[in-house]
Chain A
Amino acid sequence: MTTVSRERRKLHGWGRTAGSVANIAAPGSTDELAALIAEAGQRGVIARGLGRSYGDVAQNAGGVVIDMRGVDRLLEFDRASGLVTVEAGCSLDALVDAVLAHGWFLPVTPGTSAVTVGGAIACDVHGKNHHRDGAFARHVRSLELLTPEGETITVDPEQQRELFEATAGGLGLTGIVTRATLQLVPVETASMLVDTERAANLDVLLTRLTSTDHLFRYSVAWVDGRARGAALGRSVLLRGDHATADDVPRDTDRLLRARGRRLSVPPHLSAAPFLRGRPLNAFNELRYRRARSGKSIETIDQFFYPLDAIGNWNRLYGAGGFLQYQFLVPFGAEDALRTLLESFTAAQPVLVVLKQFGESFGPLGFPAPGWTVALDLATSVPGLARLLDDADEVVAGAGGRVYLAKDSRLRPDFLARMYPRLDEWRQVQSTLDPEGRMQHDLSRRLQLVR
């Protein structure tokens, strides 16, 4: 019997939509995990990190959810080679704090540091350097997996390739990642050298990204989601690399992580009226016009995690919540990309970003060579369900897909079309979990597991 206590509580994703009630267990060490998995009943069990996935992928209605945040020790760190081993509940934020001062940084980071290493592996998250460095799992040298049957195994990316690739992007359904060894990248400073450039429309944007992205380790474009017609896709390109010692003043502590002030949104403050219509248009206009071309120095937090400066910014959308629609279309499907961007202008997307992807990884991995766009949309947008269904149709028709880590509304009939290697993944997953112990709301909604 486990001594880990349970709490019955409602959970939802970062978008604060479609929550559900689960029995939450918060173990303090990996020893307690096996017992929790063994107890999984009809409604199954799933791991949860920091809940930064937008939809229902880290919640399990009526079942058990294992809150991994307490399993977060840094176990080993080789300052010479940049190999670090951590428990899966360790946040990327804590990891940066631990290694940056020694001249190391994350090989891949999403747009928030408030994610766990386990969550980063389970969704095989990508960063602004995907076109060059691939996604998170490519930099994992080894991981430890507690399988659904309760066995703890070490998974080597080469030796247990099938299992490794099914776990990376496997949305927690191959078991619980308990620890991982990661290869960090060396940096000389805690600063970023950023190159800013405006693009007047989609054609200019895509041409610039195609012709010059290889010159930058990191690249992303902020797109004015309200611009239409000839200005459709007008954007600000933000690209760069870690600043070298020569780029920053000599007398400063080059590796000091200078975090700005953090604000927090009170529970019932809704900014929903300002996230649409004229205020939104004005903000976009300003954002575009004020972007100055040229080079500048930013902190890593400013460059990678601008939204982390405001805690709980997701509450700004009010009670109805919001969702993020992130899709990918392969290179060559630029017409589909244009159609999609056009179709969203009327839906008042609050935030739109676009970037290029490089090689794909694993049967359930999201990235593949092509263009990805992420749009934040208030769920109160009229006709949103239909609009997104139509978008799915265009995306699937173009040979693309949507990102399951952000999904909260895809229809199951689209899944196999978007993820052509789904059956391959199901094969590996069902061999590992014949009794169907691992479950979450998304796996049931999309009938991901057979």
Chain B
Amino acid sequence: MKDAVGRIQRVLVLGGGSEIAHATLAALLEDGPLTAILAARRPDELETAALERSGASIERIAFDARATATHGDVFERAFSGADIDLVLIAFGVLGDQQRDERDATTTVEVAETNFVGAVSALTHATERLRTQGHGTIVVLSSIAGQRSRRSNYVYGATKAGLDAFAQGVQLALADEEVHVMIVRPGFVHTRMTAGLKGAPFSVSAAEVATAIVEGARNGTPVVWVPRKLRWVAAVLRALPAPLLRRA
């Protein structure tokens, strides 16, 4: 359980290779050792030496976000040991907007991963933590979900769906000691965005991690990274549609 000084002992990461997730684990490790269960498509290939040097014990589980029928077993395994204090839903794909908007097959893949898979994982996580009586779930949404833009609406729509779903879960858990935190970063320099032109207000994975750790400690419902994106999003939502055709 998260202790009196906000320290976390055991973390489950869905999308165990995510750079943002690894940065978050590194930030948590500054407060002392922990166990991380990394759930990923190819768990044996995950690079964990740095985390282990910082005091993490690593457990690995095979997990495919799109294979929702297997999620029950994944969670059963993850929760078969000690309590899990933090579940990080970090998997996701950016897709290729130009291809996906014309190819139903690849569009569905993005939606299955970012929305269907995430909704499944969030529901399993919620049920587990409710039974456990405590815990924090971090959902990686994105500013892209705030308004459809010409340049990334496939990805944006999946995040909008996930974000709305997570907000609903927050309402449902109001009386429980289970904290769902929605994280809305802007452009983060990670593998996912490698090769793309950096957008304004771009941040590093470490900056997202710091915000996640602080928010998890304080029980914050929504975290924007950087913080001022909240106002950028407000403007974005108010813009007339024609202006978004080129954005």
Interface residues of A (CB under 8 A from B): 8, 10, 15, 17-22, 42-43, 55-56, 60-63, 321, 323, 379, 384-386, 388-389, 408-409, 411-413, 441, 444-445, 447
A270 to B3 CA separation, bound complex (whole angstroms): 22
Determine whether the beta carbon of A379 is less than 8 Å from that of B5: yes
A43 nearest in chain B by CB position: B133
CB contact under 8 A between A20 and B177, given known A379-B4, A409-B5, A445-B1 = yes
A21 touches B32 (CB 8 A): no
Evaluate whether A62 and B3 lie within 8 angstroms (CB atoms) in the complex, with A19-B177, A21-B176 already known: no
Q: Report how far A441 CA is from B130 CA in the complex, Å.
A: 15
Return the contact of A386 from the options B9, B31, B130, B176 (Cβ within 8 A): B31
Contact partner of B131 (CB less than 8 A), chosen from A62, A323, A409, is A62
* In the complex, chain A residues whose CB is within 8 Å of the CB of B176: 21
B3 surroundings in chain A (CB, below 8 A): 17-18, 56, 408-409, 445
- Minimum CB distance partner of B2 in chain A: A18
Q: Is B207 an interface residue (CB 8 A)?
A: no
Any chain A CB within 8 A of the CB of B132? yes
A51 to chain B, nearest CB (A): 15
- Residues in B with CB closer than 8 Å to A22 are 133
Range, interface on chain B: 20 to 34
Contact: B82 with A20, CB < 8 Å?
A: no
| Cβ-neighbour of A444 out of B1, B31, B131 (below 8 A) | B1
Q: Does B124 contact A (CB under 8 A)?
A: no
**Could you tell me the distance between the alpha carbons of A323 and B7 in the complex, rounded to whole angstroms?**
14
Bound CA span A345–B24, Å: 32
Q: Does B72 contact A (CB under 8 A)?
A: no
Task: Name the A residues within 8 Å of B133 (CB-CB).
Answer: 20-22, 43, 60-63
Please report the C-alpha to C-alpha distance between residue A447 and residue B132 in the assembled complex, in whole angstroms: 16
Q: Mark B74-89, 1 if CB is under 8 A from A, else 0.
A: 0000000011000000
A20 touches B1 (CB 8 A): yes
B83 touches A409 (CB 8 A): no
Interface residues of B in 31-88 (CB under 8 A from A): 31-33, 82-83
Cα of A388 to Cα of B9 in the assembled complex, Å: 16
Query: Is B221 an interface position by the 8 A CB rule?
Result: no
Q: Which residue of A lies closest to B7 (CB)?
A: A385
For residue A61, which residue of chain B has the nearest CB? B133
Interface residue? B134 (CB, 8 A)? yes
- Does the CB pair B134–A20 fall under 8 Å? yes
A-B residue pairs in contact (CB < 8 Å), sample of 12:
A17-B4, A19-B177, A21-B133, A62-B131, A62-B133, A62-B134, A384-B5, A385-B32, A411-B33, A444-B82, A445-B3, A445-B9
Q: A21-B176, A22-B133, A385-B32 are in contact. Are A447 and B82 (CB under 8 A)?
A: yes
Question: Are A388 and B5 closer than 8 Å at their CB atoms?
Answer: yes
Residue among B1, B3, B7 having the largest count of chain A Cβ atoms under 10 Å: B3
Known: A62-B131, A62-B133. 8 other contacts (CB 8 A): A18-B4, A20-B1, A21-B176, A61-B132, A63-B133, A323-B5, A379-B4, A411-B33
Assess the A385–B6 pair: CB atoms within 8 A: yes
Q: Which residues of B contact A (CB under 8 A)?
A: 1-7, 9, 31-33, 82-83, 130-134, 175-177
What is the distance, in angstroms, from A374's C-beta to the closest C-beta of chain B? 15
- Cα A55 to Cα B33 with chains together (Å): 21
Task: Name the B residues within 8 Å of A447 (CB-CB).
Answer: 82
Whether A441 contacts B32 by the Cβ 8 Å rule is no
B18 to chain A, nearest CB (A): 25
Cα of A389 to Cα of B3 in the assembled complex, Å: 13
Tell me whether A409 and B4 are in contact (CB under 8 A).
Answer: yes
Contact A321 B4 (CB under 8 A): yes
Q: Which residues of B contact A388 (CB under 8 A)?
A: 5
Q: Which residues of A contact B1 (CB under 8 A)?
A: 18, 20, 56, 61, 441, 444-445
B184 CB to closest chain A CB (Å) equals 25
Residue among B2, B7, B134 making CB contact with A21, cutoff 8 Å:
B134
| Chain B residues whose CB sits within 8 angstroms of the CB of A61 once the complex forms | 1, 83, 132-134, 177
How many whole Å from B115's CB to the nearest CB in chain A? 29
Shortest Cβ gap from B229 to chain A (Å): 26
Decide if B32 touches A389 in the complex (CB within 8 Å): yes
CA distance A387 to B2 in the complex (A): 17
CB distance from A318 to the nearest CB of B (A): 13
Which 10 pairs, one residue from A and one from B, show the smallest C-beta to C-beta distance? A61-B133, A62-B133, A408-B4, A17-B4, A385-B5, A409-B3, A20-B134, A61-B134, A21-B177, A21-B133
User: B4, A15: Cβ atoms under 8 Å?
Assistant: yes
List, in ascending order, chain B residues with CB within 8 A of A20's CB. Answer: 1, 133-134, 177
Whether B32 contacts A62 by the Cβ 8 Å rule is no
When C-beta atoms are compared, the residue in chain B nearest to A62 turns out to be B133
Question: What is the chain B residue whose CB lies nearest that of A442?
Answer: B1
Q: Tell which of A8, A42, A385 has the most Cβ of chain B within 10 Å.
A: A385
Give the docked Cα–Cα distance between A20 and B129 (Å).
Answer: 11
Q: Which of B9, B33, B82, B132 has most A Cβ within 10 Å?
A: B132
A17 to B82, CA, bound (A): 21
Which residues from A are CB-within-8-Å of B7?
Answer: 385, 409
Q: CA A436 – CA B4 in complex, angstroms?
A: 25
Please, how many angstroms separate the alpha-carbon atoms of A321 and B134 in the complex?
A: 18
Complex Cα distance, B1 from A55, in Å, reads 12
Q: Please indicate the chain B residues that have their CB under 8 angstroms from the CB of A411 in the complex.
A: 32-33
Nearest chain A residue, comparing its CB with the CB of B129: A62
A15 and B4 CA atoms in complex are apart in Å by: 9
Once the chains are docked, how many angstroms separate the CA of A445 from the CA of B82? 9
**Which residues of chain B have C-beta atoms less than 8 A from A408's C-beta?**
3-4
In contact, B9 and A43 (Cβ under 8 angstroms): no
Partner of B4 from A55, A412, A413 at Cβ < 8 Å: A55
Q: CB within 8 A of B132: which of A8, A43, A323, A412? A: A43
Contacts of A56 in B (CB 8 A): 1, 3-4
Return the chain B residue nearest A42 by Cβ.
Answer: B131
B residues within 8 A CB of A18? 1-4
How far in angstroms is the closest Cβ of chain A from B179? 11
Give the residues in chain B near A55, CB-CB below 8 Å: 4
Q: Which residues of A contact B6 (CB under 8 A)?
A: 379, 385
Q: Which residues of the other chain, A, contact B175 by a CB distance below 8 angstroms?
A: 8, 21
B134 — which chain A residues lie within 8 A by C-beta? 20-21, 61-62, 441
- Cβ–Cβ < 8 Å partners of B82 in chain A: 444, 447
A15 to B33, CA, bound (A): 24
